[in-house]
Chain A
Amino acid sequence: MSAAWRAPTRRLRPRVVLGGLALVVVVAALVELSVGAATIDVPQHLRCLAGEATGCAAGERYILLSLRLPRTLVAAVVGCGLAVSGAAMQGLFRNPLADPGLIGVSSGAALGAGVAIALEAGAELLPFGLTLPALAFAGGLAATCLVHRLAQVRGQTSVTSLLLAGIAVSALAGAVIGLLGYIADDQQLRDLSMWLLGGLGGASGDVLLVLVPTVAIACALLWRRARALDALMLGEAEAFHLGVDVERLRRRVVAEVALAVGACVAFTGVIGFVGLVVPHLLRGVVGPRHRLLLPAAGLGGAALLLLADAAARTVLAPAELPVGILTALLGAPVFLSLLARARAAEVA
């Protein structure tokens, strides 16, 4: 093996990238734990987390363990789930601009949440305030199933028909949400629009109990599709020539993304741009191969949402901004500048 055949050198080494990103996640988590209405410095909360009774006031202890720690974990898990799903969708659609919402899961979940809010009477359907997340999750999965069914022609789903069915189902869900908003009273309308903006205020230990296993399983399954998604980069026929059952891959990725995104959206509302921007950004750093891109996107998404939420809780403190507004406010310009730079590189 001659020296010419090393792996491409213009990219960073996998260990450096993943190690670096993990470090960023840890720092972002410490920031998220520290900031807010009450500032708790890092040594202080490390003492509290370690369970030292001395030097840790009961109030601080409560804020940290019951409020901020669950919120930090939810932010990390949701950011990870959205970004991994985004990377997988971009691979599946063979389009670096694809978004996990394309398959209708977000709009279906929004519809489910809208129904839960409008039918306030049913709030006691499930314990622990889980009615809304449960309906949102069910709505997300149902919409995805519908999109997948609509996209099937003679047992085959094409990417184009999947995209079109996703747009149609999302539009339909949007219309019904509009209708629900129209008939809702003022409080319900406010709840609904707050939910649609996305926020991590609902974080709790119970949420984590459901969210962590669902997102972890979905992401682990998506990671197993990494090599098949790599083959798909060359084209659908080419992926088949490389031994990939493309139809089965498509079915699985759609189901797994619906699971991850459905669970995230159900608890936090719609948080945009994380699933679009993070994989897109990291593809430039680690390359497009999914074995590395998927875990890198997971860490990057976690870090981004942690920092975004920390910012959302400080800019208007003591009030807090819905984090979905912030990710869109920051994400859209970043995304546009990325597009402009990519275009410039193409022209040059």
Chain B
Amino acid sequence: MTLRADRLRVRVGAATLLDAITLAARPGEVLALIGPSGAGKTTLLRAWSGELRPTAGAVTLAGVPLAAIDPRALARARAVLPQQASLRFPLTALEVVLLGRLPHPSRGESAADLAIAGEALALAEADHLAERLASTLSGGEQQRVQLARAFAQIWEPTPAQAQRVLLLDEPTASLDPGHAARILGRVRRFARATRAAVVVAIHDLNAGARCADRLALLDGGRVVAHGRPAAVLTPARLGRCFGAAFDLFTAADGGFAVHPRLLADETDETYEPWKTP
């Protein structure tokens, strides 16, 4: 079961946020969306979650347009990690994760749901936070709790939909490097083991390259490049997209990293918009 965008266009008011997007998230694979701020990464995730209706083109899950799928049935197969969560009610972390079980017949109220919530919290390295009020947690802790909720939502295959979709918007934005590396590794294993189609919108190019099977580079609402990480992340292309010069570093084991240079102070001595004495 593949999550597909086909000649997708999304317009909000006069602004065209996405145009001519043809891209698929395949079962068992991690697809990372990269690109500059405002390129349309989050908008594509929102279209793929069913939250935004396409202006033109189609978004389909296993060939069925998302709009034609009952929201609750869709929720049993597709989980979303939001970029940031705002919680104004005193829910504990465990209660937040249990909300992920809401679309299922047991409604998050069975012993099995409780067990799943516990395991999902452990998977997201947040099991020690279970009894804490979610609103009192740090940004990184909240993010792991929300990730646990997303895992719990699609923990097991449902009879109607054997396949699962996991959409993550900046899952590592507030995480320290250690947590980020372990969480992304687990996301990748989750995709492999459950045959879930996983899409990650991520700013960190190297983290995206390491955890994803394929990268899609977005710019101005279009897919500029798409394919294996090493093929997409060329310094020349990144330079055009991000407006910075990139260096490519290669490790002995074949791994690689790209890094931008500090531009203004290195190359342009005349750039001084501030006042100097």
Residues of A near any B CB (own CB < 8 A):
1-2, 4-10, 94-96, 227, 230-231, 233-235, 237-238, 240-245, 283-284, 287-289
Q: Is B118 an interface residue (CB 8 A)?
A: yes
Which residue, A2, A4, A95, A244, has most C-beta atoms of chain B within 10 A? A4
User: A16–B78 Cα gap in the complex (Å)?
Assistant: 37
Q: Is B74 an interface residue (CB 8 A)?
A: yes
User: A253–B134 Cα gap in the complex (Å)?
Assistant: 26
Q: Report whether A243 and B95 are in contact in the complex, using a CB–CB cutoff of 8 Å.
A: no
**Contact residues on B (Cβ < 8 Å of other chain), bracket:** 35 or more
Q: Report whether B107 and A234 are in contact in the complex, using a CB–CB cutoff of 8 Å.
A: no
> Which residue of chain A lies nearest to B84 when distances are taken between CB atoms in the complex?
A235
The residue that B118 contacts in the complex, of A2, A10, A95, A289, with Cβ under 8 A, is A2
Q: Report whether A233 and B87 are in contact in the complex, using a CB–CB cutoff of 8 Å.
A: yes
A/B interface sample: 19 pairs, CB < 8 A = A4-B118, A4-B130, A7-B94, A8-B94, A227-B107, A233-B88, A233-B89, A235-B82, A237-B80, A240-B71, A241-B51, A241-B79, A243-B72, A243-B74, A244-B71, A245-B71, A283-B89, A287-B91, A287-B95
User: A242–B86 Cα gap in the complex (Å)?
Assistant: 16
Q: Report whether B102 and A231 are in contact in the complex, using a CB–CB cutoff of 8 Å.
A: yes
Q: Which chain B residues border A284 with CB–CB below 8 Å?
A: 90
Q: A1-B118, A10-B131 are in contact. Are A283 and B102 (CB under 8 A)?
A: no
Q: Report whether B99 and A243 are in contact in the complex, using a CB–CB cutoff of 8 Å.
A: no
5 residue pairs, one from A and one from B, having the closest CB atoms: A243-B75, A243-B72, A288-B89, A5-B118, A243-B103
The residue that A231 contacts in the complex, of B73, B85, B99, with Cβ under 8 A, is B99
Q: Is B49 an interface residue (CB 8 A)?
A: yes
User: A4–B118 Cα gap in the complex (Å)?
Assistant: 8
Q: Is B194 an interface residue (CB 8 A)?
A: no
Q: Which chain A residues border B73 with CB–CB below 8 Å?
A: 243
Q: Which chain B residues border A235 with CB–CB below 8 Å?
A: 82, 85-86
User: A231–B153 Cα gap in the complex (Å)?
Assistant: 12
Q: Report whether B153 and A242 are in contact in the complex, using a CB–CB cutoff of 8 Å.
A: yes
Q: Which chain B residues border A8 with CB–CB below 8 Å?
A: 92, 94-95, 131
The residue that B96 contacts in the complex, of A2, A10, A234, with Cβ under 8 A, is A234
User: A336–B79 Cα gap in the complex (Å)?
Assistant: 40
User: A272–B115 Cα gap in the complex (Å)?
Assistant: 43
Q: Report whether B102 and A230 are in contact in the complex, using a CB–CB cutoff of 8 Å.
A: yes
Q: Report whether B111 and A234 are in contact in the complex, using a CB–CB cutoff of 8 Å.
A: no
Q: Which chain A residues border B89 with CB–CB below 8 Å?
A: 94, 96, 233, 283, 288
User: A242–B89 Cα gap in the complex (Å)?
Assistant: 18
User: A216–B78 Cα gap in the complex (Å)?
Assistant: 37
> Which residue of chain B lies nearest to A8 when distances are taken between CB atoms in the complex?
B92
Q: Report whether B88 and A96 are in contact in the complex, using a CB–CB cutoff of 8 Å.
A: yes
The residue that B111 contacts in the complex, of A1, A96, A227, with Cβ under 8 A, is A1
User: A338–B117 Cα gap in the complex (Å)?
Assistant: 32
Q: A243-B103, A244-B71 are in contact. Are A237 and B82 (CB under 8 A)?
A: yes
Q: Report whether B51 and A237 are in contact in the complex, using a CB–CB cutoff of 8 Å.
A: yes
Q: Is B76 an interface residue (CB 8 A)?
A: yes
The residue that B102 contacts in the complex, of A7, A9, A242, with Cβ under 8 A, is A242
